[in-house]
Structures are given as structure tokens and as C-alpha cells.
Amino acid sequence: MAEQAQDKEQIMFDKDLLEKALLNGELEVFREEYFNLHPYDRAKFYLRLEPESRERIYQFLSPEEMADIFENIEPEDDEYKDILAEMNPHYAADMLSNMYTDDAVDVLNELSKDQVASYLTIMNDESAQEIKDLLHYEEYTAGSIMTTEFVSIPSNSTVRSAMAILRKQAPNAETIYYTFVINDEKKLVGVVSLRDLIVSEEDALIKDIMSDRVVSVSVSDDQEDVARTMKDYDFLALPVVDFQNYLLGIITVDDIIDVLDEEASEDYSKFAGVSDMDSKDRTSLGAAKKRLPWLIILLFLGMLTANLIGQFEATLDQVAILAVFIPLIAGMAGNTGTQALAVAIRGIATGDIKEESKWKLIMREAGTGLITGTTCGIIVIGIVYIWQGSFFLGILVGCSVLVSLVVATLAGSFVPLIMHRFNIDPAVASGPFITTINDIFSILIYLGFATLFMSHLM
């Protein structure tokens, strides 16, 4: 498979030829081969170069051409600073000025405030002001990911004048498939597609052919909600408005794809009990710092579990065989709770779980826990009876499995719903956390039953 991937990459572009032209200073050869590549391949080639080789690229490409490359690369967050430091500050500022505003803001958000201020000072006033307008929006909101490079047309204009506006503004617009319509007060009143403009009569008024049922998002909406809206309606772009319905910008589908990837990585990190899996830590110390907080919390919860078992020391001393089944019951409860947790978190993330359907989810998971618990309990009873020759011990372990699985399933679905209710990210109720909590419950149930029915076991 690795050889196939390498062959495929070789077909896409000749890396050795590009590197040779770059090393020998063959400007025309390099530019001809380089600009024959797809923008993604240009970015990939650029990222694979050593810093010394990248410095030659800055001599071969203009800041505007470099902006196209930067819009197609996604280095690790801490690498932005290093890459920009390789460039002349004026070159870097010109490059940022030529990027789409939302992409430039994404880059600047990874830098320190002093660095951002330095680049904004060097930029031309118009570009700097557009970037400043987006930088002040809170991170992870619609305002922080929207772009201001879009085409809008007045509602009282004709198709002919609208096409003239489109031809003039299209080179700088991020997308032209949707054209948003505004009234005299610059408020969003409609949307017209490129197809509508092409097939309509030139003298037709925009307000007569536009759709006034516009789906928009507020500038303060969470980016996850925006992504959900984009997915539900299958849009290529969404308009962003303020509380008075003034059109501020648009969010395009490529930005939403980045949001979905970012949110998925973040939720997976939390689900695994790691603060951030999105970046590749360069040192063991850096990775350990991100993992230690959860591990320390789980350590104390583990100590609580050990102390709980210690409370039943007398029970275990009298019937030692009970200890054999502790990992079985705790493991099954942990796995069941994690399954329910995954279902609940996914439902919350996709918006499938509404206020009225929360109790329905809990009842469904309770039923699921009852069915799976009963099935596993019956199987365990048979296995324990055949293995140990004690029917009552089998009943004890089987009933403990049944009750533990029901409780674990309810905990796995109920905990994230409660956290979501209080505006806490439900992904924080991560797998390791819910597993440890269910360990405590399952051990308490199992050893509690054993203590109550000790006389039958003896």
C-alpha cells in the first residue's frame, strides 16, 4: 500500500525535478512545473521542504502567489510562527493581505498579540481593517470563521446590472454560486443563485427572481450550530447577520469542513481523556502535560475504587472466589456505559436529541441495558454453575451483571445530558471517566449483594 501511494504521488508531480530546479536557481523551469500542479499539491510540496529550501521559494514567488499556497496548507498550530519567521516581515504581511480574510485570521489567531499587531501595522490599511473586524469576534463563533469577500447586490437592480457587479467583484469573492440580496439599508432580504441570474431576462428585477426565504446564522452562533445548519440544508454558503439582520459576511462549505474536522478531533480527544490530540507534541514532556490532568483525576477515582473494595474485605476473606469476578463485572459495566455515552454524545452533537426526546433516549437506553444485562446475566449464570458448581454463586454474579449493566447504561446516557443542560461540553464525560465511575457502581452492587446474601454463599 505504501508503494502504491508513493507511485500515485510521483504521477501527481515530479518532486525531484522541482527540488533540482529550486536548488539550481532555475526560476522559469521551477515556476512552469510548479504552477502546473494542483494548489493542494503545491502546498504539500512546500511543507515538505526544509527551511533553507523554502527561503528560495520566497524569492521565486510573489506574496500574492504565496497566499494561494498558504490557503491550502494546514500546518500544526505551533508551526505557523516558525514558517512566518522564515519570511521577510513585509513579505509575510503582503502575503496575509492577499489571503481571504477568514484564512488570514485563522493564521493570525495562532500568533501572539505582539506578532499580530506587528503584521497589521505593516499591512495596507484596507486589509488590516478587514482583518481587525474579524479578529474581535469570539473564537469558535460564526463571526470568527466568516469571510467578508462575498458578492451582494441591491434588490432593486436588474439582472443586467447584477451580472456587471458579479463580473467586477467575482475575482475577489470566495464564492459566487450564491449572491445575497440586500435592501437600501444593507439588510439581508433574499438570495439568488448564479443559475437564476443566467437564465433570467436581463431586464428582470432581482427582487422578482430572488428567494426571500433566506436561511442565515447570527454572528454570535456557535460554529458547531452553523455546521449543523449547513449540513441540514446542503448549502455551499451561509450568510452571517447581526441582531438587526445586517449582512456581515458569509461562511463557505470549505470552512465548515475544517470546523467539522476540528470539532471531531476535539471531541475524540476529550472522549479519550486527553486535552488535545490535534497537535503532534515535539517532546515527551509536552505530551505528558496534556495527558496528566485526566490521569491524575482518574488516579484519585481509582483510589476511591480501591478503598471501596477494602470496605468489603471481610466478605472477600470469607468467600475468596468473589474476587475472581470483580474484573468481569467492572469491565462489562464500563464497556456498556461507554457505548451509551457514545450514542448520547453523538445525538447531542448532531442535534438529533431535542428537549422532548431526552427522556425517550433515557428510557430506550434503560430498556437496552435491561435486555443486554438479562442476556449476559443468564449466560454468566450458566458459566459460573458449570465452572464452580455453585448455582447460587452464578445467580449472584448474573444478577450483579444485570443490575450493573442497567445502571451503567443509564449513567452513560444521563451524565452527558445533564452536562449539556448546564452548558458543559458533554464530551468532557469521557470514556475513561465514565468507565471509572461505572467501576465504582458495579463493585458496590456486586459486593453489596454478596454481603447481603453471605449466609447462602457460605
In what helix (H) or strand (E) does residue 330 lie, and over which residues does it extend? helix 326-350
Q: In Å, how far are 47, 71, 249, 384 from 252, measured between CA atoms?
A: 25, 14, 10, 59
What values do phi and psi take at 222, rounded to 5? -65, 145
CB of 240 closer than 8 Å to CB of 217: yes
d(CA 451, CA 234) in angstroms, rounded, equals 58
Predicted pLDDT at 375: 93
> What are the extents of the domains in the chain?
8-138, 152-266, 284-457
Q: pLDDT at position 426, please?
A: 64
- CATH superfamily name and code, 8-138: MgtE N-terminal domain-like (1.25.60.10)
Q: In this structure, what C-alpha cell is assigned to residue 368?
A: 437496552
pLDDT (0 to 100) of residue 287: 63
C-alpha cell at 262: 476540528
Burial (CB count within 10 angstroms: exposed 0-12, middle 13-18, buried 19+), residue 136: exposed
Q: How many CB atoms neighbour CB 452 within 10 A?
A: 11
Which pTM value belongs to this model?
Answer: 0.60
Which amino acid does the sequence have at 424? I
C-alpha–C-alpha distance, residues 63 and 359, integer Å = 56
Q: Are 150 and 173 in contact (CB under 8 A)?
A: yes
Tens digit of pLDDT at every position of the chain (458 positions): 334 444 444 445 577 888 888 888 888 888 988 888 888 888 888 888 888 888 888 999 999 999 988 888 776 656 778 888 889 999 999 999 999 888 888 888 888 888 889 999 999 888 888 888 888 888 889 998 898 889 999 999 999 999 999 999 888 888 888 899 999 888 999 999 999 999 999 999 999 999 999 999 999 998 888 988 888 888 889 999 999 999 999 999 888 888 877 766 666 555 555 555 545 555 667 667 766 676 677 677 777 777 777 777 777 777 777 888 888 888 888 888 888 887 887 777 666 666 656 788 888 888 998 999 899 999 999 998 898 888 888 888 889 899 999 998 888 888 888 877 777 666 655 566 777 788 888 888 888 888 887 776 66
Q: Which amino acid is at 35?
A: F
- Give the DSSP H or E segment for 191: strand 188-193
Name the CATH topology of 152-266. CBS-domain (3.10.580)
Tell me the three-class secondary structure of 50-109, residue by residue.
CHHHHHHHHHHCCHHHHHHHHCCCCCCCCHHHHHHHHCCHHHHHHHHHHCCHHHHHHHHC
Domain 284-457, architecture per CATH: Orthogonal Bundle (1.10)
> Which strands, in side-by-side order, build the sheet including 247-252?
217-218, 237-241, 247-252
pLDDT at 266: 63
Cα(75)–Cα(47) distance, rounded to whole angstroms?
8
